[in-house]
């Protein structure tokens, strides 16, 4: 089945210790997104890639970086996690032609101690 | 500034009855609206959408209504089934902007 896979599903890190979350897709979609979602809040777009073109949202902190080495994979790097970065991180993909119908992975729940 | 609002954090409905989930928006430039459904421990899944040139879109038990003058949309589920228990997110987009603006979600509970 075509899908969006996120690893790990749960990640625990220490305050200030870099962490990388990964996302892979078998849908062959050009666009990949990273969202942050805190409890009972709307998902917040951090950035997206259209193929290799990186698009950062204006209010995404510099602490968050992303890499997309190929069509299938995308990584979210948090350089120095703070307590406020504890959240669910959702990866999504879409076709460029139907960009608003996005396909989501199950998410990675990040805990910062 | 929340451009998309779902004012009911939760809604409880009897199985077999109609569920109505509401969403309000403030930006008149939005031209496409979507509903996503999310089960615990899973990512959101696309449910149904509507373009601003329409006022209704139907897909099986799910119907979305758009009232542009009131900047309001609603999702109707008829009849409601236990598997419909989930969090429902309303989202909006404009033009070719890749960003979806999301509401905070409404948790729907279907009672047997």
- Tens-of-pLDDT digits for all 112 residues of chain B? 679 999 999 999 999 999 999 999 999 999 999 999 999 888 999 999 999 999 999 999 999 999 999 999 999 999 999 999 999 999 999 877 778 899 999 999 999 9
Taking the Cβ of residue B1 and every Cβ of chain A, the question of whether any pair is shorter than 8 Å is answered with no
Per-window interface: B 69-108 vs A, CB < 8 A:
89, 91, 93, 96, 98-105
Q: CA A106 to CA B29: how far, in whole Å?
A: 31
DSSP B59: E
Query: Rounded to a whole number, what is the distance in Å from the CA of A79 to chain B's nearest CA?
Result: 24
Q: CA B46 to CA A103: how far, in whole Å?
A: 7
Positive or negative, the Cα torsion across B58, B105, A89, B1? positive
At B66 the three-state DSSP class reads: strand
DSSP A97: G
Q: Which of the four pLDDT bands, split at 50, 70 and 90, describes residue A96?
A: confident
Q: CA A65 to CA B15: how far, in whole Å?
A: 45
- The runs of H, that is alpha helices, within chain B are none
Most A-contacting residue of B43, B86, B89 (CB-CB within 10 A), to test interface: B43
DSSP A30: S
Contact B42 A106 (CB under 8 A): yes
* Tokens 């009232």 sit on residue: B67
pLDDT at B1: 65
pLDDT at A2: 66
Contact B46 A42 (CB under 8 A): no
pLDDT at A111: 96
Most B-contacting residue of A102, A105, A107 (CB-CB within 10 A), to test interface: A102
Bridge-based pairing state of the strands B106-111 and B10-14: parallel
Per-window interface: B 23-52 vs A, CB < 8 A:
32, 34, 41-46, 49
Query: Looking at residues A71-83, what average pLDDT do you find?
Result: 96
Nearest beta carbon to residue A101 from set B41, B46, B101: B46
Taking the Cβ of residue A81 and every Cβ of chain B, the question of whether any pair is shorter than 8 Å is answered with no
- First and final C-alpha spacing in chain B: 38
């Amino acid at each position: 089945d075509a899908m969006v896979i996120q690893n790990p599903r749960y990640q625990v890190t220490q305050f200030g210790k870099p962490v990388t979350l990964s996302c892979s897709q078998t849908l062959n979609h050009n666009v990949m997104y990273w969202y942050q979602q805190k409890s009972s809040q709307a998902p917040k777009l951090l950035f997206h890639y259209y193929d290799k073109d990186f698009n950062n949202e204006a209010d995404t902190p510099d602490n968050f970086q992303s890499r997309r080495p190929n069509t299938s994979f995308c990584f979210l790097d948090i350089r120095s996690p703070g307590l406020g970065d504890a959240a669910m991180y959702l990866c999504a993909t879409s076709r460029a032609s139907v960009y608003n119908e996005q396909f989501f992975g199950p998410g990675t729940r990040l805990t910062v101690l | 500034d929340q451009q998309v609002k779902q004012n009911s954090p939760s809604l409880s409905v009897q199985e077999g009855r109609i569920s109505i989930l509401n969403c309000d928006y403030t930006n008149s430039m939005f031209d496409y609206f979507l509903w996503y459904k999310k089960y615990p421990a899973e990512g959101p899944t696309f449910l149904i959408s509507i373009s601003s040139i329409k006022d209704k879109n139907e897909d099986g038990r799910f119907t979305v209504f758009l009232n542009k003058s009131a900047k309001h949309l609603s999702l109707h589920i008829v009849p409601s089934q236990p598997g419909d228990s989930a969090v429902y997110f309303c989202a909006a987009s404009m033009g070719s902007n890749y960003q979806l603006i999301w509401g905070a979600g409404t948790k729907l509970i279907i009672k047997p």
